[in-house]
Amino acid sequence: MDGAGNVAVIGGGAAGFFAALSAARHHPGSNVVLFEKTGKLLSKVKVSGGGRCNVTHACFSTSAFAKHYPRGGRQLKKAFGTFSAQDTIDWFTERGVPLKTEDDGRMFPVANTSQAIIDCLLTEAQQDRVDIRMKAPVQSIQPLDGGGFDLHGEQFDRVIVATGGSPKATGFDWLVALGHTISTPVPSLFTFNMPGETITERMGLVVQDAIVRIQGTKLSHQGPVLITHWGMSGPAVLKLSAWGARELEQRGYSFTIQVNWIGRTNEEEAALLMADAANASPKKKMANACPFDLPKNFWVHALEKAGIDADTPWGELGKKPRNRLLNGLLNDAYSVAGKTTFKEEFVTCGGVTLGEVDFTSMQSRIVPGLHFAGEVLDVDGITGGFNFQAAWTTGFIAGQLNK
């Protein structure tokens, strides 16, 4: 393609970098300048996945992939047709950074370090002669008569905004000044704080297949739950926090969850498994004969919560304590009071309203020549590589600079 003149990319994260590389590659005659307000590039990439960078997810149906986004899934479904998870895998592999798939579908660089991704992106930027400017915040974009933009006295033909999420609506004031509407940002992907709940004494335990439901809502998710020293985390909790982001914020992060620890909704089936355990090992201590797929320490906790001595032989368990135990495993309730950000991976729900952006080009429907990429949009995914894939996809499309 021909050059696109001067192109400004605002934001040195995953979406901004990919947008800059896409612009430089699609428009080799253009001058691409990337502005980063801090002294660090790709900081979220660095800490993601425990420092390994969860690049994408091994899901290769665009419609199935799009279902992992509480907000923006419908728009991204079309965008993934242009740049998908497979395209991401191919892009990095072709540049010497092959990816591997873990059991849960998350994909990481084979090198097992986020630095491999960072080095790849930096090398590409250098080869494509992207002008990277650190500690260069952009506080306003001034559209010019006849087209183009003024950024603090410097003129650009196109601008791509990839500044990420903001914890406060005021962080988007400069985009509101351009005529855009902002969906109020609230946190997404957070863990549940449970002050006073004794289950926190079992911190570090993971129950692999639990169903967590928020009482008074239709919100429910199934998957691993991690007990922490402050409450609960793990995929089931994080998914709930994402899908319920707005409702939980309205509740002031004060609510009750109901947990089915055995992942079975059929009470009769669960009761039968307990009866089989009693019949098969009547003299065996209950602590040593759990009929469900639960960590032993958690099983002992469940017994104690039901008022059952863990040394009780299965054959001596009465009907009432058996019912208490069964109810505790199927309908355990905990009070949640507050939240904690998931690791360092700050994600927000909210941002530029999606109806104001054309997802075939990521161009603003309000301001011609202005494009968006990444979490500055009201788009967010659950944990597992989905937020990065949205960044790669929207960055790639924005960088095409199609009108």
Q: How far is residue 209's CA from residue 276's CA, in Å, rounded to a whole number?
A: 21
Asked whether the predicted pLDDT for residue 80 surpasses 80, the reply is: yes
Q: Hey, what are 242's tokens?
A: 């994402």
Q: How far is residue 353's CA from residue 279's CA, in Å, rounded to a whole number?
A: 60
Q: Rounded mean pLDDT of 118-125?
A: 98
Phi, then psi, of 329 in degrees rounded to 5: -75, -30
Domains of the chain: 6-186+345-400 (3.50.50.60), 190-341 (no CATH)
Per-residue pLDDT, 167: 87
Asked whether the predicted pLDDT for residue 341 surpasses 90, the reply is: no
Q: How many CB atoms lie within 10 A of CB 3?
A: 15
Mark residue 210 as left, alpha or beta (left: phi above 0; alpha: psi -120 to 50; beta: remaining).
beta
Average pLDDT, whole number, for the chain? 95
3-state helix, strand, coil in the chain (%, to 5): 35, 25, 40
Q: Rounded mean pLDDT of 285-301?
A: 96
* Residue 144 DSSP one-character state: P
Per-residue pLDDT, 1: 41
Helix (H) and strand (E) counts for the chain? 13, 22
Residues 6+ apart with CB under 8 A from 133: 33, 34, 35, 36
Q: How many CB atoms lie within 10 A of CB 314?
A: 22
Per-residue pLDDT, 311: 97
Per-residue pLDDT, 297: 95
Q: How far is residue 58's CA from residue 387's CA, in Å, rounded to a whole number?
A: 14
Q: Hey, what are 33's tokens?
A: 């300048």
Instruction: Please report which helix (H) or strand (E) contains residue 182, including its range.
Output: strand 182-188
Residues 6+ apart with CB under 8 A from 274: 291, 322, 325, 326
Closest to 53 (Cα-Cα) out of 344, 312, 315, 288: 344
Per-residue pLDDT, 4: 77
Q: How far is residue 388's CA from residue 392's CA, in Å, rounded to a whole number?
A: 6
Quick: pLDDT tens for 124-170. Answer: 999 999 999 999 999 999 999 999 999 999 999 999 999 999 989 99
Quick: pLDDT tens for 351-379. Answer: 999 999 999 999 999 999 999 999 999 99
Per-residue pLDDT, 265: 86
Q: Rounded mean pLDDT of 266-281?
A: 94
pTM of the shown model: 0.89
